[in-house]
Structure 1
Amino acid sequence: MSRFDGYFLRQLLVLFGFFTLVLVGVFWITRSVSLFDRVISGGQSAMVFLEFTALTLPTLIRTVMPMAVFAAAVYATNRLSRESELTVMLATGSSPWRLARAVFLFGLTTGLMMAVISVFLRPASVEQLEVRQAEVAGDVTAQLLNEGEFLHPAEGVTVYIGRIDLDGTLHEVFVSDRRDAEDAVSYSSATAYLVNSDMGIHLVMVDGIALRLDKQGRTLSSTLFEDASYDISELTSTGAMARRSLEAIPTIELIQDRETIAAIEEFSLGQLVEELHQRFSWIAICIAVSLAGYSTLMLGSFSRFGLWPQILGAFTILVLLEGVRGFVSPVVIDDPRLWGLLYLPAVMGVFISCVFLIFAGRPLFRKRDPVGRAEPSPA
Structure 2
Amino acid sequence: MIQIERYIFRIALSAFLACLVGLTGTIWVTQALRELDLVTAKGQTLLVFLFITGLSLPTLIVVIAPVALFIAVVYALNKLNGDSELIVMSAAGMTPRSIFRPFLTLALAVSLGLGFLVIQVMPATFQELRDVITRVRGDFIANVVKEGQFTALDNGITFHFRERGPNGTLLGLFIQDRREAGKTKVYLAERGHAIDVDGQSYLALEKGSVHQQQKDSRDSSILTFERYTIDLAAFAPPDSDVIYKPRERSTTQLLFPDRSEGYFQLQKGRFRAELHDRLSAWLYPLALVFIAFAALGDPRTTRQGRGLAVASAVLAVVALRIAGFAATSAAARSQAAVAAIYAVPLAAIGLSALMIFHGARVRAFNARIGRALRGRRAVPA
Q: TM-score, normalised by structure 1?
A: 0.77
Task: Show the counterpart of 2:320.
Answer: 321
Match of 1:341 in 2: 340
TM-score by length of 2: 0.76
Equivalent residue of 2:172, what SS? strand
Q: In terms of mean alpha carbon deviation, does 25-34 or 236-245 score higher? A: 236-245
User: What is the match of residue 272 of structure 1?
Assistant: 271
Question: In the alignment, what sits opposite 1:215?
Answer: none
Once residues 94 and 195 of structure 1 are traced to their aligned partners in structure 2, the CA distance between those partners, rounded to angstroms, is 70
Q: Distance in 2 between matches of 1:355 and 1:318?
A: 17
Deviation at 1:161, TM superposition (A): 3.3
User: Once the 2 structures are TM-superposed, how far is the Cα of residue 280 of structure 1 from its aligned partner?
Assistant: 1.7
Q: Which residue of 2 aligns with 1:282?
A: 281
Q: Which residue in the other structure is 1:164 paired with?
A: 165
The size of the alignment, in residue pairs, is 348
RMSD, matched Cα? 4.0
Structure 1 position 88, deviation (Å)? 0.7
In the other structure, the counterpart of 1:301 is 300
Distance of aligned partners of 1:361 and 1:141 in 2 relative to their CA distance in 1, 3 Å threshold? same
Q: Aligned pair 1:125/2:125, yes or no?
A: yes
Point out the more displaced range, 78-87 or 4-13: 4-13
Match of 1:372 in 2: none
Superposed, 1:239-254 pairs within 5 Å as: 239-254=239-254
Residue 379 of structure 2 corresponds to: none
1: distance between equivalents of 2:32 and 2:107?
Answer: 30
**In the alignment, residue 75 of structure 2 is paired with which amino acid?**
Y
Structure with greater contact order relative to length (CA < 8 Å, sep ≥ 6): 1
Instruction: Choose 196-205 or 107-116, whichever is displaced more.
Output: 196-205
**Gap regions ≥5 residues in structure 2:** 213-219, 368-381
Aligned amino acid, residue 327 of structure 2: V
Q: Is the 8 A contact 1:328 1:342 kept in 2?
A: yes
Q: Which amino acid aligns with 2:343?
A: L
* Per-residue deviation, 1:75: 0.9
The answer (yes or no) to whether the contact 1:172–1:188 under 8 Å persists in 2 is no
Secondary structure of 2:259 counterpart = helix
CA contact (8 A) 2:145 2:159 kept: no
Residue 260 of structure 1: SS of its match in structure 2?
coil
Once the 2 structures are TM-superposed, how far is the Cα of residue 52 of structure 1 from its aligned partner?
Answer: 0.9
* Aligned match of 2:216: none
Question: How far apart are 1:326 and its partner, in Å?
Answer: 1.4
Distance 1:209 1:78, change over 3 A: farther
Contact 2:20–2:68 (Cα < 8 Å) also in 1: yes
Secondary structure of residue in 1 paired with 2:43? coil
Indicate the larger mover: 329-338 or 261-270: 261-270
* Structure 1: distance between partners of 2:265 and 2:234: 28
Partner of 1:51: 51
Task: Give the Cα separation in 2 of the matches to 1:237 and 1:57.
Answer: 32
Aligned to 1:258: 257
Matching residue of 1:376: none
Distance 1:151 1:58 in 2: 42
- Secondary structure at the aligned position of 1:42 is classed as coil
> What is the identity, as a one-letter code, of the residue corresponding to 1:162?
E
- Percent identity over the alignment is 23
Conserved 8 A contact 2:189-2:205? no
Distance 1:318 1:7 in 2: 26
Contact preservation (8 Å) 1:135, 1:238: no
